[in-house]
Amino acid sequence: MSSIYDFTAERMDGTSQDFADYQGKVLLIVNTASKCGFTPQFEGLEALHEKYKDQGLVVIGFPCNQFGGQDPGSNDEIGAFCQKNYGVSFPMMAKIDVNGSDAHPIFNWLKEQKGGVLTDGIKWNFSKFLVGNEGQVLDRYASTTKPEAMTGDIEQALASANNQ
């Protein structure tokens, strides 16, 4: 696979999302969890989505239960939680694994493109990948990186996309 546009994923509602639909957009892909110390980052992610969606940013959440069992609910329960508690309006995909033999191919590819510190594996919930408008990974951020701390990188990626 050569770009993010080569992948598909299941949305929370069970429909298929072809990532080619996002061509030309800047993507912020995040593995999320509903019962994590970092869960309040949904608020910052939604703020980024609202601020930059008209300029071409799409935040995409992938719920994952691999870290401390912190997203045990069904897709419907997770979606309702995100909407009710954080007003999430950005696309949320169906729950996946991000590490191991059952890891979703998108996350295998993301990890290959931007390795982590010490290991390429995802270390915890709310790891983030910024993907440029040509489908390539620009940067990777740790769980501890707050969404608002990525504003400069997002603006730079959007400016680059809009200057092409």
Q: Hey, what CATH class is 4-159 in?
A: alpha beta
Say which residues have a Cβ less than 8 Å from residue 119's Cβ, sequence separation at least 6. none
Provide the b/e sequence for 55-89 (b: ≥16 CB within 10 Å).
ebbbbbbbbbbbbeebbeeebeebbebbeeebebe
* pLDDT for position 138: 94
Indicate if the pLDDT at residue 159 is higher than 60: yes
5: exposed, middle or buried (Cβ count in 10 Å: 0-12, 13-18, 19+): middle
Q: Considering the entire predicted model, what is its pTM?
A: 0.92
Helix, strand or coil, per DSSP, at residue 88? coil
* pLDDT for position 157: 92
As a whole number, the mean pLDDT across the chain is 89
Say which residues have a Cβ less than 8 Å from residue 41's Cβ, sequence separation at least 6. 30, 126, 146, 147
Residue linked to tokens 């608020």: 43
pLDDT band, very low/low/confident/very high, at 86 (cuts 50, 70, 90)? confident
Is the model more confident about 83 or about 66? Answer: 66
* pLDDT for position 44: 94
Over residues 7-15, the mean pLDDT reads 93
Domain residue limits, the chain: 4-159
Is the model more confident about 36 or about 28? Answer: 28
Indicate if the pLDDT at residue 117 is higher than 60: no
Over residues 45-72, the mean pLDDT reads 93
Indicate if the pLDDT at residue 40 is higher than 70: yes
pLDDT band, very low/low/confident/very high, at 52 (cuts 50, 70, 90)? very high
**64 carries an active-site annotation:** no
Which of 36, 57, 103, 110 is catalytic? The answer is: 36
CA dist., res. 13 & res. 75, Å (int)? 8
